[in-house]
C-alpha cells in the first residue's frame, strides 16, 4: 500500500493528536487537551465507567468533564492512557476516521502494583481546518472486563 506525501503527513498529524490526548489527559494539561477538539466536538463513552454525563458536546465542556474526572483519580493514582493499533477507516484532505485500542493502567500513590483499569476502542472522526487536525467526534466503547 503506497501513500502520497500528503496522506503520510495527514496520518502522522492525526496520530500526533491521538498521542497528545493521552499525554495531556495523564499530565493534567487541560488547556492543551481542549485545543485538540474542534468547535462543537462530541465525546461519548459506553458503558460510562467514569460517571460523566455523556455525550458531552463542545471543547470546553469536554475539557471540564475530563478535568473533573482527573481531579478524582489523581488523588489515588497516576493513570496512563496507552493508545495502540490505530487504523484509518477514512482519510481525505478534510476529514478522517480512525479506530484505536485503549489500555488504561493505574499506579497507586505510594506503593502498589500496576493495575489494569480498562480497555476499549476509540472510534474517532477528525476534521482539518486551516491545516490543523482536530477531533470532531470521539466515541469510546469500553470492554466489559468481567462485568
pTM: 0.92
Which of 6-15, 44-53, 95-104, 123-132 is least confident?
44-53
pLDDT band at residue 139 under the 50/70/90 scheme: very high
Strand 77-91 relative to strand 56-57, pairing: unpaired
Q: Considering the domain boundaries, does residue 49 fall inside one? A: yes
pLDDT tens digits for range 93-123? 999 999 999 999 999 988 789 999 999 999 9
- Tell me whether residue 135 is in a domain: yes
Rounded Cα–Cα distance for residues 82 and 110 (Å): 22
In a domain, 27, yes or no: yes
Number of domains in the chain: 1
The CATH number of the domain where 108 resides is what?
3.10.450.50
Per-residue pLDDT tens digits for 78-96: 999 999 999 999 999 999 9
| 147 inside domain | no
Containing structural domain, residue 134: 5-142
pLDDT at 39: 93
Amino acid at each position: 500500500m503506497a501513500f502520497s506525501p500528503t496522506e503520510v503527513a495527514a496520518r502522522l498529524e492525526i496520530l500526533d493528536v491521538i498521542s497528545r490526548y493521552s499525554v495531556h489527559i495523564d499530565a493534567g494539561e487541560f488547556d492543551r487537551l481542549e485545543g485538540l477538539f474542534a468547535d462543537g466536538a462530541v465525546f461519548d463513552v459506553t458503558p460510562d465507567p467514569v460517571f460523566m454525563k455523556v455525550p458531552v458536546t463542545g471543547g470546553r465542556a469536554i475539557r471540564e468533564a475530563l478535568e473533573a474526572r482527573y481531579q478524582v483519580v489523581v488523588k489515588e493514582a497516576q493513570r496512563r492512557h496507552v493508545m495502540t493499533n490505530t487504523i484509518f477507516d477514512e482519510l481525505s484532505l478534510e476529514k478522517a476516521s480512525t479506530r484505536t485500542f485503549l489500555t488504561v493502567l493505574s499506579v497507586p500513590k505510594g506503593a502498589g502494583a500496576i493495575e489494569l483499569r480498562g480497555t476499549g476502542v476509540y472510534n474517532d472522526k477528525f476534521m482539518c481546518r486551516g491545516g490543523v487536525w482536530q477531533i470532531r467526534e470521539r466515541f469510546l466503547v469500553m470492554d466489559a472486563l468481567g462485568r
